[in-house]
Chains A and B, each alone.
Chain A
Amino acid sequence: MTDTAVEIRNVTKVYSSKRGKRSEEVQAVREMNLSIPRGKFFTLLGPSGCGKTTTLRLIAGFETPTTGEVFIQDKAMSKVSPNQRPVNTVFQNYALFPHMNVARNVAFGLEIKRVPKAERERLVGEALELVKLADMCDRKPSQLSGGQQQRVALARALVNRPAVLLLDEPLGALDLKLRKAMQIELKHIQEQVGITFVYVTHDQEEALTMSDLIAVMKDGLIQQLGDPVTLYKTPTNQFVADFIGESNFIKGKVDLLGEGKARIMIGGEQVEVSSGEGNLMAGQAITLTIRPEKIDLSRQGTGGLSGTVQDRVYIGTDTRYIVALHSSETVIVRVQNGCDSEAGEFAKGERVTVRWRPEDARMLMD
């Protein structure tokens, strides 16, 4: 069996719509090349309009590529209609059949394949057990809560043992607590069943929680592909850094280059950062990125950048400070509450020093 569940080769999807006399063209997906490995929880992450749902529908077969080809388990899908593809979809609005009860909804795909009744009932029972809805099989979708409907949709798809399961923002309609619980459950189910999941979401925290691999998308292009830790710690461009987690972006100029380290001038003051990849030249303008929780705040002292606390917000586990630097930029700093650091708490207007370890800051070229 192949190790690649889905391959997308050079796919572009263009929508053209006629508005009066003009025709508009929208490039939903641009020259995409993507390999989704088998058995992994793969997520397409990005803001609305970035093309992630279009990509999903291209895999499912509801859209056809304008150019390029989609392969599922190494077979070309260009002539294969959605009902013949070895994929199943969990729709955003669940799309449960309102005139059938839960059991018949889940059994639908099996009925189409003419699976004999006894076998069908067994498989449906297993699927409902998996999503913990075994005692709801006689209910109609309208009698279920949102979370329950979502699980029926999942069971209905999984019972067919597809090669790939596509999930289109399935948790969007649920409240926060339920969503977080379902994220963990989905992850467990995926690990248990071993099917390749291709998940679409705009919620970066959700993506980081559940995924083995994430593709961050913007305007139809993949910005970066990697596992959660890599994406979080080493974003390759400003969009990814900004989209995943919270980031600070500070502009500066390269002052001095050393071995593996560089000295950056920011508003008259100096900091050290690890130089990372890329060719740096003295005098070059760069953007530094650093996560708020990696910044160290202390009372005014030597080294680091000096600034004034503009605002502070208590968020339960942390306190969030907005510090205005001398260079007129602001940085966001997260300090864990109850920490024993010599810093303690800072008041509005207090002068502070902003510091970080060189290896926690990254330089972005764009």
Chain B
Amino acid sequence: MDGLNLGPPAGDLPEVLIRIARMEKRNRFASLIGPPGLYLILIFLLPIGVMFVYSFRAGISGPAHDSFTLANYQSFLVNSNFHRLLWRSAIISFTISVLSTLMAYPLAYYLVFRAGPNRVTLMTLLIIPTWTSYLLRIFSWKLILGSSGVLNSLLLSLGLIEKASPILIYSRGAVIVTLIYVWVPFVALPIFAALERIDKSLLEAAADLGCPAWEAFLRITLPLSLPGILAGFFFALIPTLGEFVTPLLVGGASGSMYGNLIQDQFMRALNWPMGSVMSMAMLVAVLLLIFILTRLGSIADLAGF
């Protein structure tokens, strides 16, 4: 024990050390979320804020630029064309999301319950092509289904039809079918994850208690996969609201959506303030939907379906 310095009296030591440790932790945490946080603020949140301010301006340049007016909001609220298009887009998006979810569920169910040990590989197989540019995939479907396209030429050369017909192009239905085609694998993924997580012994227990297979699905599997269904549904619904590329490619006149309206204001009409108002309206709708999703998520957990 000679010469050993045992340090300051035990009383003060622990508290000081704890405080230093905590401060260090906070500094490290701040340094870590600092750069990404700053970037997100500058390039993500700030632009949205600026857009909000812009919605009150009269114009892009000159004195109109620095004005403040509610005229844009007034004309937005008054213009029934805008409302109609917004409503139409909402219906289209909702339809697409519902149908995509309905079509994706059997896929995920098959993979988890029937496909055996290869299911993750098969799921990946399903997902990989969806990561390619959807611009290209839609474009290629246009080529395939168009009047001078692959399908028509195939049918013509096989003698099955007499004249090329522009099936499925330039219509609202084309937009819906195309987007369903794009979304189904994406929606299948969270459903797949949720179904995977279900403890299979629960289904054995249900059978043990006299439950036939279809009823076990309704009472056990479906409720427990609900979080995945909701996630997939909203993950498809929300971006689709702002969709404009697909309508440009296959929508024609009747398939135009709200996103096209916004794009038009910014690229052609150059009425940026008006476009900002429209974007803000969409943003509010999106945030509302996200809010609903988070509420539904916790209700699904609590309600014990």
* Contact pick for A82, options B208, B219, B220, CB 8 Å: B208
| Contact yes or no, A88 B224, CB < 8 A | no
Binds A, one of B22-30, B171-179, B209-217, B248-256: B209-217
Chain B residues, CB < 8 A from A140: 304
| Contact yes or no, B304 A112, CB < 8 A | no
Distance in angstroms between the alpha carbons of A89 and B205 in the assembled complex:
7
On whether A62 and B204 interact (CB within 8 A), knowing A98-B224, A99-B305, A104-B304, the answer reads yes
What residue in chain A is nearest B216 (Cβ atoms)?
A83
> Does B287 lie at the interface of the complex (its beta carbon under 8 Å from any beta carbon of A)?
no
| Contact yes or no, A95 B210, CB < 8 A | no
> Does A109 lie at the interface of the complex (its beta carbon under 8 Å from any beta carbon of B)?
yes
The 0/1 profile, CB within 8 Å of B marked 1, for residues 92-123 of chain A is 01011111110010001100110000000000
| Contact yes or no, A108 B304, CB < 8 A | no
Interface residues of B in 168-209 (CB under 8 A from A): 199, 201-202, 204-209
Distance in angstroms between the alpha carbons of A142 and B100 in the assembled complex:
33
What residue in chain A is nearest B199 (Cβ atoms)?
A95
| Contact yes or no, B201 A156, CB < 8 A | no
| Contact yes or no, A99 B223, CB < 8 A | yes
A-B pairs, 7 with minimum CB distance: A109-B209, A95-B205, A95-B201, A82-B207, A83-B207, A89-B208, A112-B210
Distance in angstroms between the alpha carbons of A132 and B206 in the assembled complex:
23
Interface residues of A in 261-287 (CB under 8 A from B): none
Chain A residues, CB < 8 A from B220: 97
Chain B residues, CB < 8 A from A108: 206, 209, 211, 219
| Contact yes or no, B209 A91, CB < 8 A | no
Distance in angstroms between the alpha carbons of A295 and B132 in the assembled complex:
80
On whether A93 and B201 interact (CB within 8 A), knowing A98-B224, A104-B304, A112-B215, the answer reads yes
On whether A160 and B304 interact (CB within 8 A), knowing A95-B199, A95-B202, the answer reads no
Residues of chain B touching chain A, judged by Cβ–Cβ distance below 8 Å, are: 199, 201-202, 204-212, 215, 219-220, 223-224, 304-305
> Does A81 lie at the interface of the complex (its beta carbon under 8 Å from any beta carbon of B)?
yes
Chain B residues, CB < 8 A from A60: 208
Residues of chain A touching chain B, judged by Cβ–Cβ distance below 8 Å, are: 60-62, 81-84, 87-89, 91, 93, 95-101, 104, 108-109, 112-113, 140, 156-157, 160
* Contact pick for A156, options B204, B209, B224, CB 8 Å: B209
* Contact pick for B204, options A91, A96, A113, A160, CB 8 Å: A91
| Contact yes or no, B304 A95, CB < 8 A | no
Per DSSP, chain B at the interface is: helix
Chain B residues, CB < 8 A from A89: 204-205, 208
Chain A residues, CB < 8 A from B202: 95, 97-98
On whether A113 and B210 interact (CB within 8 A), knowing A91-B201, A99-B223, the answer reads yes
Chain A: minimal CB distance from B263 (Å): 43
Task: List 18 interface pairs A-B (beta carbons < 8 Å), by A numbering.
Answer: A82-B207, A83-B207, A83-B210, A83-B212, A89-B205, A89-B208, A93-B199, A95-B204, A95-B205, A97-B205, A97-B220, A99-B224, A99-B304, A108-B219, A112-B211, A113-B210, A157-B208, A160-B210
Chain A residues, CB < 8 A from B223: 99
* Contact pick for A101, options B207, B212, B304, CB 8 Å: B304
Chain B: minimal CB distance from A61 (Å): 8
What residue in chain B is nearest A104 (Cβ atoms)?
B304
Chain A: minimal CB distance from B164 (Å): 51
20 more A-B residue pairs beyond the given contacts A60-B208, A83-B209, with a C-beta to C-beta distance below 8 A:
A82-B207, A83-B206, A83-B207, A83-B211, A88-B209, A89-B204, A95-B199, A95-B201, A97-B206, A99-B224, A99-B304, A99-B305, A108-B206, A108-B209, A109-B209, A112-B211, A140-B304, A156-B209, A160-B209, A160-B210
Chain A residues, CB < 8 A from B219: 108
What residue in chain A is nearest B211 (Cβ atoms)?
A112
What residue in chain B is nearest A107 (Cβ atoms)?
B209
* Contact pick for B208, options A83, A100, A104, A113, CB 8 Å: A83
| Contact yes or no, A112 B305, CB < 8 A | no
Chain A residues, CB < 8 A from B304: 99-101, 104, 140
Chain B residues, CB < 8 A from A62: 204, 207
| Contact yes or no, A84 B210, CB < 8 A | yes
Distance in angstroms between the alpha carbons of A91 and B204 in the assembled complex:
9
What residue in chain A is nearest B204 (Cβ atoms)?
A62
